Amino acid sequence: MSSTRQRVYGYLAEFKSASALYKAAEKVRDAGFKQWDCYSPYPIHGLDGAMGIKRSVLPWFVFCGGITGTATAFTLAYSTQVVIFPTVVQGKPANIFTIPAFFPIMFELTILFSGFTVLFGLLSLIRLPRLNHPLFASHQFHRATDDGFFIAIEARDGNFSTAGTRDLLEEIGGSNIELVAEED
Amino acid sequence: MASPIQHASEASHSRPILPVLEREKLILSGRSYHWITARICGVLENQQPLLWWLLFIPSALIAAIGVGGGLFYLVSTGVGVWGNTNRVMWGWPIVNFVFWIGIGHAGTLISAILFLTRQNWRTSINRAAEAMTIFAVMCAGIFPAFHVGRVWMAWFLAPVPNANAIWQNFKSPLLWDVFAVSTYFTVSLIFWFLGMVPDLATIRDRCQPGIRKIIYGILSLGWRGGNRQWSHYEMAYLLLAALSTPLVLSVHSVVSFDFATSVVPGWHTTIFPPYFVAGAIFGGFAMVLTIMVPARFIYGLQDLITMKHIDNMAKIILLTGTIVGYAYLMELFVAFYSGAIYEMDAFKFRIAGPYWWAYAAMMTCNVIAPQVFWSRACRENLWVVMIVAMFVNVGMWFERFVIIVTTLARSWLPGDWKTYAPSAADQILFIGTIGFFLSLFLLFLRFLPCINIAEVKWAKRESDPHYEDHVEHPDPGVIKEPAYQHELAQLSAQKPAIGNLEPQLSIPQ
């Protein structure tokens, strides 16, 4: 136990409500911090602006995924039905006029590929899954998924200082301020 | 809190006073965030009530015998054990397929369409409805997979080169159906799972260290609830809702193409896609009510799934039921107006032929029964709501029976005419899927959060970061009229309804 080194993750402070968290976030943002986050049991609308976070880029990923799906379905249907193996069923044509009959599958694969892009795009953007995180070492952080509102400022941020950051968190109304450390 | 009348009199000299209907509370009794967490997680953390076992054991047995045994018998003997004939080649298996896939529509409708239209009341019921979607589509998938005849060759449906060097017919609605249903299942599963990640993290954080914590920890992917995660997460949820909205409308449209694109009297109509979609939503909501009304009662979720939720669902059933009724009548009118004798005969046969009882059951259950929901007293009486929901469940099954069996039993050549009857194997498998569906749903209640914890918390008014600012500056020019719930509270004080047995629980700290 004594030989274990501790690596400081940062400060964790609790706020009493969503409103308090929102106002505190604006102040942390204005103090110039970059490596920090607000933790809440549900998404707080408007907090992105208060934290200075840009709009998510996920839609662009999904757009590309969707287009890939459309192209895949079209290529699959057209190449097999018209080019490789023209199947004449019920006298329906096997040429360029067949394309309208491919629309349902083109639509479905667009949605399918987009759906997978949402899942994997999201996971890569939020850097999950991961099995552990330094914040899980905190004795109060489990309340962030229940009824706690927290701000964590990370030690790797350039503006971080042991005394100054603590003072800032106290000043903006944080309580239960805790220095979170993980075993190195 | 100052009286609203007082505000009004202060402001009366400056501008006209407008009465504004106060917005409904979606969570009753002012429950705290912690109460919400504890109550929803309690459903899966506490020992299950005896009723759970009383429902689960028979359901699981029926599923094992019906689906397990039924399919074993079917595969080991051959599809001849079903009642399908040369003429009625679809019969019960496809009736049941369309029935189950229809039920699967309410979940995604609640999750996606009501999300896009900002209907915040969806938050209390979307999780269970999505679960129901997944399980209903699983039940539905069994039927076409085995209906192909040789189930070990069902992979021929997949667009991969096979031994015969023949590719799938991409012009066929049946192949569209394969793509539509499998996409629907996959995207619904992603939607359901992603929606559950924050709640699984809540359960993980409440677990004592041990195997449970590890399992929920892995399922929750290490979710922390930071706004940098929520920001992307909310976007992902919005995107999935936007993708699922056309998807849910497309799935039953494509199912209806199976019928509408074939040149068969009674099927070959353009009304089929909207009619099928409305019917699917109708049947799906009935199943949501069938399941959620008892569940909210058993697990004491009355403050989260309120009478307002049930009222809204009853109204949707009324609306979609009326659309379905319109479609039934419009089909008759178009058959008459077309002047085509085969079309007219097909409908005469449906109404007055040997299957008249199925048509009558469909009309009674789907069109007449939901009309009681015009009356508020009926929407507020949970017994009436349950009985109507049961009627709709039955009626929607009969609708598919009417569409498939009565049409196929009379083809163009009188020599083909035949009366269809399901075999015992048909019936056992169908009853088995009901057991399968119920046991999956009960397992869901046992192991997963049945209400969306994060979204229900979000739906509380205090969750708005500007809530406190609003409280400090009330608009003096507005009289707030009491919402529906105030009236309801007075109503239930007079005659206690079954759903309101527990609203006086003390608020835990």
pLDDT of the residue at B15 = 64
- Taking 70 as the pLDDT cut, the residues of chain A under it are 1-3
Q: What is the arithmetic mean of pLDDT over B53-66? A: 96
- Would you place residue B479 in the very low, low, confident or very high pLDDT band (cuts 50, 70, 90)? low
**Whole-number Cα distances in Å, B272 to B254, B258, B266, B275, B399:** 10, 10, 10, 5, 13
- Domain shared by A45 and A134, yes or no: yes
Q: What is the pLDDT of residue B12?
A: 47
> Is A121 found in the same domain as A147?
no
Chain A residue numbers touching B204 (CB-CB < 8 A): 145
**CA dist B277 → B25, B251, B274, B319, B388 (Å):** 31, 8, 5, 13, 20
CA distance A2 to chain B (A): 24
pLDDT score of B497: 43
State percent of chain B over pLDDT 90.
63
Is B476 inside any structural domain?
A: no
Instruction: Tell me the two tokens of residue B61.
Output: 């047995």
Query: Which of A174, A111, A93 lies closest to A140 in space, CA to CA?
Result: A174
pLDDT at B31: 86
How high is the pLDDT of residue A90?
A: 77
Verify that A139 and A178 share a domain, yes or no: yes
Residue A175 neighbours by CB distance under 10 Å? 11
User: Is a pLDDT exceeding 60 seen at residue B49?
Assistant: yes
Task: Give a yes or no: residue A1 inside a domain.
Answer: no
The angle, 0 to 180 degrees and rounded to 10, between the axes of the packed helices B382-401 and B272-298 is 140
One domain for residues A76 and A117: yes
The residue written with tokens 């085969």 in the block is: B342
Give per-residue pLDDT as tens, B291-333: 999 998 888 888 889 888 999 999 999 999 999 999 999 999 9
Residue B408 pLDDT greater than 60, yes or no:
yes
Calculate the average pLDDT of chain B.
Answer: 87
> Tell me, what CATH number does B204's domain have?
1.20.1630.10
Question: Looking at the structure, do residues A118 and A84 belong to the same domain, yes or no?
Answer: yes
Domain count of the fold of chain A? 2
Amino acid letter, B433: T
Q: What is the pLDDT of residue B500?
A: 41
Q: What is the pLDDT of residue B181?
A: 94
Residue in this structure with the two tokens 């469909």, named with its chain if needed: B362
Q: How far is B327 from chain A (nearest CA, A)?
A: 24
The answer to whether A55 contacts chain B (CB < 8 Å) is yes
Q: Which of A80, A109, A125 is the last residue of a domain?
A: A125
In chain B, helix, strand, coil percent, each to 5? 75, 0, 25
Q: How far is A3 from chain B (nearest CA, A)?
A: 24
For residue B398, the enclosing domain spans 27-161+169-459
CB-based contact, A84 to chain B, within 8 Å: yes
Which residue would you say has higher pLDDT here, B21 or B47? B47
Note the pLDDT tens digit of each residue in B131-180.
999 999 999 999 999 999 899 988 888 888 877 778 888 889 999 999 99
- Distance of alpha carbon A81 from alpha carbon A79, whole angstroms: 6
Q: Which residues in chain B are contacts of A173 at CB distance < 8 A?
A: none
> With 60 as the cut, is the pLDDT of residue B343 above it?
yes
**Co-location of A100 and A138 in the same domain:** no
Instruction: Identify whether residues A147 and A115 lie together within a single domain.
Output: no
Q: Across the interface, do B231 and A53 touch by the CB < 8 Å criterion?
A: yes
Q: Pick from A48, A80, A104: which is nearest to B227 by CB?
A: A48
Are residues A89 and A179 both part of a single domain? no
Q: How many CB pairs under 8 A join A and B?
A: 217
| Distance between CA atoms of residues B296 and B452, nearest Å | 14
Any domain includes B340 = yes
Handedness of CA B403, B408, B413, B416 (dihedral sign): negative
Q: Look at residue A79 and tell me if it is in a domain.
A: yes
Q: What is the DSSP string of B318-384?
A: HHHHHHHHHHHHHHHHHHHHH--HHHHHHHHHHHHSTTHHHHHHHHIIIIIGGGGGGSHHHHH-HHH
- Asked if residue A146 is part of any domain, the answer here is yes
| B222 → closest Cβ in A47, A104, A129 | A129
The per-residue pLDDT for range B245-282, each reduced to its tens digit, is 999 999 999 999 999 998 888 899 899 999 999 999 99
Residue A139 shares a structural domain with residue A95: no
A135 falls within a domain: yes
A92: in domain: yes
Q: Does one domain contain both A171 and A150? A: yes
Q: Is residue B59 part of a domain?
A: yes
How far apart are the CA of B42 and the nearest CA of chain A, in angstroms?
13
Q: Between vectors from CA B139 to CA B132 and to CA B365, what angle results, nearest 5°?
A: 70
User: For residue B176, what are the CA distances in angstroms to A103, A104, A108, B84, B396?
Assistant: 9, 6, 8, 23, 23
Task: Tell me if B33 and A130 make a contact (CB, 8 A cut-off).
Answer: no
Boundary-marking domain end, from A125, A144, A174: A125
Same domain, A179 and A149: yes
Any CB–CB contact under 8 A between A46 and chain B? Answer: yes
B486 pLDDT tier (thresholds 50, 70, 90): low
ipTM exceeding 0.90, yes/no: yes
B469 neighbourhood in chain A, CB within 8 Å: 19
Question: Which domain covers residue A161, as residue numbers?
Answer: 6-53+130-183
Please write the tens of the pLDDT for every residue from B4-37: 444 444 444 566 666 666 667 777 777 899 999 9
Residues 153-182 of A with CB under 8 A from B: none
Is pLDDT above 90 for B202?
A: yes
Q: Do residues A79 and A119 both lie within one domain?
A: yes
Name every chain B residue with its beta carbon within 8 A of the beta carbon of A182.
none
* A99 contact B CB<8A: no
B21 falls within a domain: no
**A124 contact residues in B (CB cutoff 8 A):** none
> In the beta sheet, which residues pair with residue B19?
B479
Q: Read out DSSP for B160-229? A: S--TT-----TT-HHHHHHHHHHHHHHHHHHHHHHHHHHHHHHHHHHSPTTHHHHHHHHHTTT---BHHH
Residue B453 scores a pLDDT above 70 = yes
B507: confidence class by pLDDT, cuts 50, 70, 90: very low
Q: Is residue B61 scored above 60 in pLDDT? A: yes
Residue at which a domain ends, from A110, A125, A140: A125
Count up the domains in chain B and report the number.
Answer: 1
Q: What is the C-alpha separation between B469 and A144, in angstroms, rounded?
A: 23
Of A183, A15, A90, the C-alpha closest to B173 is A90
Would the pLDDT of B225 be above 50?
yes
Interface test with B, best of A112, A132, A138 (most B CBs within 10 A): A112
Please tell me the distance in Å from B257's CA to the nearest CA on chain A. 10
Q: What is the pLDDT confidence band of residue B476, given thresholds at 50, 70 and 90?
A: low
Tell me what pLDDT residue B313 has: 93
